[in-house]
Amino acid sequence: MHVIFDGEMASDGIAHYIELQKIDFVLASIGMKRQEQRLEEVFVYLPEKFPVVGIGVGASIDFLLGLQKRAPRIFRDNGFEWLYRLITQPRIRARRVWTAVRFPGFVKRTMKGQ
């Protein structure tokens, strides 16, 4: 069984439905960061020991439905799909790539402080 929830539906209502129907997996595909926040908003209304798994699938559904174009095979095969996205969507991707570049330095500085 699968159920689709509108992203605007109230968190407590979604949680109630998940509990009532004993849903095991909830997939969120509303974009990085927001999907994780939304899952957390919903799961806060579920009983502490309720067995449900929340997964943020990002644009995976868009790729499967053909709503977003895959990177050319040469980029995918060589691990450079991120570079293709940066080139084709610079406004959206630049901040994410910059964060990924800075992250190892952040970890290193954090580890030195311990």
pLDDT recorded at residue 103: 82
CA distance 112 to 25: 39
What are the distances in angstroms from CA 103 to CA 80, 97, 107?
18, 10, 6
Tens digit of each residue's pLDDT, the chain (114 residues): 667 776 678 999 999 999 999 999 998 887 777 888 999 999 999 998 999 999 988 878 888 888 888 899 999 999 998 889 889 888 888 887 788 788 888 888 888 766
CB atoms within 10 A of CB 108: 9
CB 72 within 8 A of CB 43: no
CA distance 19 to 52: 9
Helix (H) or strand (E) holding 87: helix 81-88
pLDDT recorded at residue 24: 92
The two tokens of residue 67 are 């709503």
